[in-house]
Amino acid sequence: MKIEQILSIIDLLKPAWAPICTLLAGYIGVKYGLKQVMIRKKLDFVELQLREFYSPLLGCHKEIRAKSELRLKISNAASEAWKEKCEKNSEPSINHEKKFEPYKKLIEYNNEQLRNDLLPLYHNMLMIFRKNYWLAEPQTRKWYSELCDFVEIWDRWISESIPKEVIEKLDHSEERLKPFYQELENQNYILRNKLSR
């Protein structure tokens, strides 16, 4: 092909360049826009997971843990104080019941706190899980039944419908939920990192 032929073909195509470039620019713009919309949708979902599922569950867990740790610290201090009091007065006292009254109130307070504060927080965790199950990552979902079991056994214990020996055989302990709490922490960290990028 001669240069003259190539130049004549280019001259014929000149009027089509503007529409072709416009179409090409439009195509690239739409493709880029759709990609941005998809990225935004994914980030919105991650934000929803954090706001409606992982953060509320972690908040409940942190409150339970803080109250439980303080409760244990107070109980241990009270136990030591009572022991020291008993060692100072090695003979049985007439006022034994009166001296023990503040310690008895401490035990009653702990029992009330379990019933009125901690168990409702566990129930709240179940409600958050049930209501927002669709927001949970697959590896988090497997903990739902373990949390249900834990709360149900406490409910039965509080209502005095399960013997202590049965609870012991069931190995009812918050230790079983520690991997769940770790899972919440891990997912919270992963999702927050996705948002911050």
Query: So what's the pLDDT on residue 47?
Result: 95
**Quick one: angle between helices 55-88 and 119-131, nearest 10?**
170
- What is the dihedral angle through the alpha carbons of 128, 132, 138, 140, rounded to the nearest 10 degrees? -10
The pLDDT value recorded for residue 181 is 97
Q: Are 140 and 187 in contact (CB under 8 A)?
A: yes
**Would the pLDDT of 92 be above 70?**
no
Contacts of range 40-46, beta carbons closer than 8 Å, 24 or more positions apart: 43/194, 43/195, 46/191, 46/194, 46/195
Query: What pLDDT was estimated at residue 33?
Result: 74
pLDDT tens-digit profile of 135-146?
999 999 999 999
Identify the pLDDT of residue 1. Answer: 61
Give the pLDDT confidence score for residue 94 in this predicted structure: 67
Alpha helices in 114-143 (DSSP H): 119-131, 138-141
Report which residue type is found at 31: K
Q: Where residue 161 falls among pLDDT bands split at 50, 70, 90?
A: very high
Rounded Cα gap, residues 69 and 73, in angstroms:
6
Rounded to an integer, what distance in angstroms lies between the CA atom of residue 189 and that of residue 140?
A: 14
pLDDT in tens, 108-117: 999 999 999 9
Domain ranges across the chain = 47-196
Q: Determine the pLDDT at residue 60.
A: 98
Q: What is the DSSP letter of 117?
A: I
pLDDT at 27 over 80: no
Q: Quick one: pLDDT at residue 91? A: 67
pLDDT in tens, 34-86: 787 788 889 999 999 999 999 999 999 999 999 999 999 999 999 998 888 87
pLDDT recorded at residue 32: 72
